Amino acid sequence: MPSRTSQPACNVPRDDGDAPIVVLGIGNLLWADEGFGVRCVETLQQRWDFAPHVDLVDGGTQGLYLIQHVQRARKLLIFDAIDYGLAPGTLKLIENEDVPRFMGAKKMSLHQTGFQEVLCLAQFTGHYPQDVLLIGCQPEEIDDYGGSLRDSVRLALEDALALGLDRLRTWGARPTMRLEACDGAARVTTPLLAIETYEGGRPDAGTACRVGDARFMPPRARAR
């Protein structure tokens, strides 16, 4: 995917009223609470419209492929599931220079290794956001392939969105509530993984806990 022309985040003065804002959800939807970040961005898109200079991005587990989004952002808001060692569903906010250092402190998945490298590379190239906010949520369960958000994390998602919207308003994102749902073609998540489809097709808890979700397991694994 081609990137937009990025500008050095700290060296070029510009009006923050139209400064590029990127809202990035990272994580793996297929591993239960690992999908927290992507579900945050998906929910924001379904409920809110934003100014033209705001981009919502499903970063998934793309690692270094996310560099273009970080480099072009003047302000970067990140949602992610982070292992803080706290009670499930606990939210913690990390800002600016602490974000790259914090994401490398205790990794619970490969995507965090990749994204820490993205942030460090963006700093090295001089194309780094002026403001960065990480809204992280302590997961309850990630070892459930094909699983969904646990209740504690699902509940925390609403608080995380409120925190994110407050910061986005401060940054000039101008959120306004949507009057109609976003159509399938424009959604940040693919239709198969959109939460209503994903949840509606999920097998019962007993089957899922034994062998995982058959929609995403190869036949050999299901036969064990």
Angle between helix 151-171 and 36-47 (nearest 10)? 60
CA-nearest of 224, 82, 74 to 153 is 82
pLDDT tens digits along 193-208: 666 666 666 666 666 5
pLDDT tens digits along 66-79: 888 999 999 999 99
Strand segments (E) across the chain: 21-26, 48-49, 54-60, 75-81, 91-95, 131-137, 176-177
Euclidean distance between the first and final Cα of the chain, in Å? Answer: 39
Q: Do you know the residue count of the chain?
A: 224
Task: Extract the tokens encoding 13.
Answer: 């003065």
pLDDT at residue 173 is higher than 90: yes
Tell me how far apart the alpha carbons of residues 20 and 84 are, in angstroms, rounded to a whole number. Answer: 30
pLDDT at residue 2 is higher than 50: no
Give 107's pLDDT tier (boundaries 50, 70, 90): low
List, in order of start, the domains of the chain with CATH numbers: 18-181 (3.40.50.1450)
Position 158 scores a pLDDT of: 95
Position 153 scores a pLDDT of: 94
Which range, 58-62, 147-151, 190-194, has the best average confidence (pLDDT)?
A: 147-151
Tell me how far apart the alpha carbons of residues 147 and 208 are, in angstroms, rounded to a whole number. Answer: 7
pLDDT tens digits along 127-146: 889 999 999 999 988 877 77
Task: Extract the tokens encoding 53.
Answer: 């200079």
Position 152 scores a pLDDT of: 93
Q: Which is more confidently placed, 119 or 20?
A: 20
pLDDT at residue 21 is higher than 60: yes
pLDDT at residue 101 is higher than 50: yes
With a pLDDT cut of 90, the percent of the chain lying above it is: 37
Q: Is the pTM of this model over 0.85?
A: no
